[in-house]
Structure 1
Amino acid sequence: MTQRDVVFPPGRQALYERNRYSPAVRANGLLFVSGQVGSREDGSPEPELEAQVRLAFCNLNAVLQAAGCTFADVLDVTVFVVDPEAHFETIWKIVPEFWGQAPYPALTGVGVTWLYGFQFEIKVIAKLPEAGRA
């Protein structure tokens, strides 16, 4: 069995252990980040949608940073949105705060009916920094 090279952001390991998944795994020069939601430290959803989206990006950035990456290293993004017709405009006005400049990563958007009490989730694949890069 292959040993997974898991990345944990500071202060959230108990949350991931309780829910039995890894926040991110390094493999073959890539970082595979599990879906990040706008969860508070205790795992509960941030109730207001705009704050929830911002917190999801902050949680994502904490995982990326723990692996030595930034959002600029992200190659592929998948977002999951409950009721995308109602929430897309609200969510998409926040995205530029975190997205950076073109060229943008590849994107897949998925409308879902349930996200464990959340309205938005983002998962990414990023390229890990090359050895020796600071």
Structure 2
Amino acid sequence: MTKRDMIFPAGRQALYEINRYSAAIRSGDLLFVSGQVGSREDGSPEPNFESQVQLAFDNLAAVLKAAGSTFDDIVDVTTFHTDPENQFETIMAVKNRIFDKSPYPNWTAVGVNWLAGFDFEIKVIARLPQPA
């Protein structure tokens, strides 16, 4: 059986301990990242929607970095939106800055009615770089 390793970005492990989940799990050469939101240092949502989306991507980048990975290693993306029709243009602007070249990862967008006070969440699966 493949061993599972927990991954935590610097300075945020307490948040995950309180809620009893891992920021990410490394299993073999795959990284499964829990949903990341646009939370400030104190855990509260960033009120400006575009900034909240950008902060969710920034928080995702911190988890990827902790695992020795980058956005280029992502193969699958799932995003959750509280108001997809009205948020789509803003989300796409941020997403397209991050994933700016082909090959793009798979992407599934899901409309939801509650995200614990947030309006956007992103979770990913990445294939970890292998040592040369």
Q: Is the counterpart of residue 114 in structure 1 residue 114 in structure 2? A: yes
Across the two proteins, how many residue pairs are aligned to each other?
132
For residue 131 of structure 1, give the secondary structure of its aligned residue in structure 2: coil
Matched residues in 1 for 2:46 and 2:21: separation?
21
Q: Which runs of 5+ in 2 are unaligned?
A: none
Deviations 1:48-101 (A, max 9, x none): 100000000000000000000000000000000001011111111111221131
| Mapping of residues 1-134 of structure 1, within 5 Å | 4-132=4-132
2:31 aligned partner, one-letter code: L
Gaps of 5+ in 1: none
* Distance in 2 of aligned mates of 1:100 and 1:12: 28
Q: How high is the TM-score relative to the length of structure 2? A: 0.95
Where has structure 1 moved over 4 Å in runs of 4 or more? Answer: none
Give the share of equivalent positions with the same residue, in percent. Answer: 64
Question: For the structure 1 residues 112 and 130, does the alpha-carbon distance in structure 2 shift closer, same or farther, using more than 3 Å as the test?
Answer: same
- 1:54 alignment partner, SS class: helix
Q: TM-score under structure 1 normalisation?
A: 0.94
> In the TM superposition, what whole-angstrom CA distance separates every residue of 1:21-41 from its partner, at most 9, and x where no partner exists?
100000021000000000011
Give the aligned CA root-mean-square deviation in angstroms: 1.4
